[in-house]
Chain A
Amino acid sequence: MDSWRKNPVVFWALNLPPTIWLVVFFIIPLGLIWVISFGEKRGVVDIEITWTLDNYLRALDPLYLGIFWKSIWMAFLATVVCLIVGYPVAFAIAFAPSRWKPLLLLGLMVPFWINILIRTYALIAVFRTRGYVNFTLEWLWEKAHAALTLIGIDPTWLLGARFDPLQLLYNNFAVNLGIVYAFFPFMVLPLYANIEKLDRTYMEASLDLGAGHWRTFISVVLPLTWHGALSGIIIVFIPALGAFFIPDLLGGTDSQLIGNVIERQFKSANDWPFGAALSFLLMYATFGALALRSLIAGRKQGLEI
């Protein structure tokens, strides 16, 4: 890999565009936000950089720490759900007949081609009081009601006098569902890639030697696909941590996450320095998670050698 020393022109010709892209559109804007996080407001648009730590200290107020904690908890919950649902789905795709695989993967990816905001609005149409889920339940309720009446049982004590629609939206359940729905493919794809690579003979051996399916999964499959799961966990957890329009659209009166607080600082509250400080605290938390991942991955590698 030291051929770049021999061919510096080729190396730079290939690497300059992405490097410039990274610097101009990522490093510099991020640096600006970082600098602003040490600023003080001086008026409507003026921010003076005084290298004060006040914005960070303010973020450590129990009010904001509580919201941070809630965001971490919600992101954790969504990641766990993605993981639990993602494994069987990834397995099903990996073990499907090969002519079905591309179709199943396509089925997983097609919703992803639609803008996330539109998909979230679609969830509202599905789950609201007069949405498709409740319409279906109401239809079933009416059928059951009619059937019970037909066989001469009074349905009132069993089913109630009238159909009560489920309140599926505007609560934390809806926010969690929205996050899981939005980031689910991020979990399945790395899992699928790892399961696909898995040598099936290991599982056959395990089953032949008397281990049950559960034991085989825990002792053989899980350790061998853990890398995929770890990647999935990271790329689901990080965006889930910063979610803001999902709680905005699906959340109830107590669904505020740290992403919402940050968004407000840049818009209606017009307090960029504080918003910048909150953003960076969130980013440090993310770095922490990434460091943890490489630590775990590193230790595993050490064991294998």
Chain B
Amino acid sequence: MKKRRGRGPRLSRRSFLAGTGAVAAGLSFRPGLSWAGEEPKLNFYNWDTYIGETTLDDFKDATGIEVTMDLFADNDELFAKLKEGNPGYDVIVPTNDYVERMIRAEMLTPLDHGKIPNFRKNVAKAFQDAEFDPGRKYSMPYMWGTQGIGYRKSKVDGVPDSWKYLLDSDRYSGRIALLSEGVLGAALKYLGYSYNSKDPKEIKEAEELLIRQKPHIKVFAEDNGQDLLLSGEVDLTMEWNGDILQVMEEDDDISYIVPKEGSLVWQDCLCIPTGAPHPDNAHRFINFILDAEVGAAIADFIQYATPNEAARKLLPDEYNNNPAIFPSEETLARCEAAIYLGEDVQRLRDEAWTRVLAA
């Protein structure tokens, strides 16, 4: 999965402050070692602007543990950095399909749920188990979101609440951008199949649908659909909700909807990589983040959907009722998370995509 953080210049100042805070925390001198035999340090590997403004300082005040935060740009980078051995990170934030990959590659440490009481206490039922990590042995939910349609309100008729407008219609011909990543799944969804379909016939059908629609599509975007939308290059784009939320802050004419056929739902998780030097501190940090007030402060700052039920109760309606953050229960029920499909299916789907692009 590609980058979808880095919430633009408006927030970069805050991320800078958070960064300097982390550096300052790293530099400040604390004499003596801590109680549990583990030095009071923690190395956190996170996305950019993806933590509360004071979360790391608050954690230090509460526990005396100093957090050093490094940033990665996408899951590929995170995966590549840890693939040949953990360079010293204690807590990482992979997305669900990469959690699954990392479990298979034995890159994650099993979690001790006894040390994370906030998980059972605060996290919504729907997130207490996961298909990609049965029993939540390796991962705790951090934030989640969707893929959907970002659109310019003044240029479309009504609300484009179906994949039809993007994938099977000439109504908005030449004003559509689709995401290279996930468009095959969206086509499968539109046809009424699973986002994770393994059936060659269904994949072929999705491929043919996309080839038929190609003349009406302006561009298969990498991860810049929001920029194309903002600059007026297109009027409808398939995108990650976080990216569209970012441009919605700049332009009132832009909105976001998860199509009624359902879509992709993603989940970023807190995990402890194999070989983490401070596993006890890591457990304490994860438990701290899953606290109601801490989770509320983070979600309020970064404006992503939190799986933390207790935290949501502390947050205003304007956050809880924002359809770009929380789609309706009904739509959400039709969304699926990407799962690992095996090498053969992956190859089948990549070849289908190559044929769409070559057609």
Contacts and interface: CB of A to CB of B under 8 A. Distances in A.
| A, B from the same assembly | yes
Interface of A: 41, 43-45, 63-64, 66-67, 70, 128-130, 169-170, 248-249, 251-254, 256, 260-261, 264-265, 267-271
Interface in B323-359: 340, 343, 346-347, 350-351, 353-355, 357-359
B218 A254 contact: no
B105 A45 contact: yes
A130 B232 CA distance: 7
B218 A248 contact: no
A41 B220 contact: no
A254 B105 contact: no
A78 B105 CA distance: 43
Given A44-B101, A44-B104, A45-B105, A128 B220 contact: no
B214 A256 contact: no
Contacts of B347: 269, 271
B149 to A, nearest CB: 18
B76 interface: yes
Question: DSSP majority for the A interface?
Answer: loop
B125 interface: no
9 contacts: A41-B343, A130-B231, A169-B233, A253-B218, A253-B219, A256-B354, A269-B347, A271-B346, A271-B347
Contacts of A66: 358
Contacts of A269: 346-347, 350
A252 B218 contact: yes
Interface in B217-235: 217-220, 222, 231-233
A169 B227 CA distance: 14
Given A128-B233, A271-B350, A170 B343 contact: no
Contacts of B355: 63
B181 interface: yes
Nearest to B182: A268
B301 to A, nearest CB: 29
Contacts of A256: 354, 357-358
B231 A128 contact: yes
Contacts, number: 65
- Residue of B222, B231, B351, B358 with most partner-chain A CB within 10 A: B358
A253 B346 contact: no
Contacts of A265: 350
Interface in B254-302: none
B83 interface: yes
A44 B233 contact: no
Nearest to B217: A253
Q: Is the interface on chain B under 10, 10 to 19, 20 to 34, or 35 or more residues? A: 20 to 34
Given A67-B358, A169-B233, A254-B357, 11 more contacts: A44-B101, A63-B354, A129-B233, A249-B222, A252-B219, A253-B220, A260-B357, A264-B354, A265-B350, A269-B346, A269-B350
B152 to A, nearest CB: 13
Contacts of B76: 267
Contact of B354 (A70, A128, A261, A267): A261
Contacts of B353: 264
A256 B219 CA distance: 11
Contact of A248 (B222, B231, B340): B222
B221 to A, nearest CB: 9
Contacts of A253: 214, 217-220, 357
A72 to B, nearest CB: 15
Contacts of A129: 231-233
Contacts of A264: 350, 353-354
A129 B359 CA distance: 25
Contacts of B219: 170, 251-253
A249 B358 CA distance: 17
Contacts of B220: 253
Interface in B225-249: 231-233
Given A41-B343, A253-B214, A269-B346, A130 B233 contact: yes
A271 B351 CA distance: 11
A150 B181 CA distance: 53
A210 B285 CA distance: 87
B200 to A, nearest CB: 16
Nearest to B218: A170
B343 A43 contact: yes
A64 B359 CA distance: 12
Given A43-B343, A130-B231, A63 B104 contact: no
Best-buried of A251, A252, A253, A267 by chain B (most CB within 10 Å)? A253
A66 B359 CA distance: 10
A43 to B, nearest CB: 7
B207 to A, nearest CB: 12
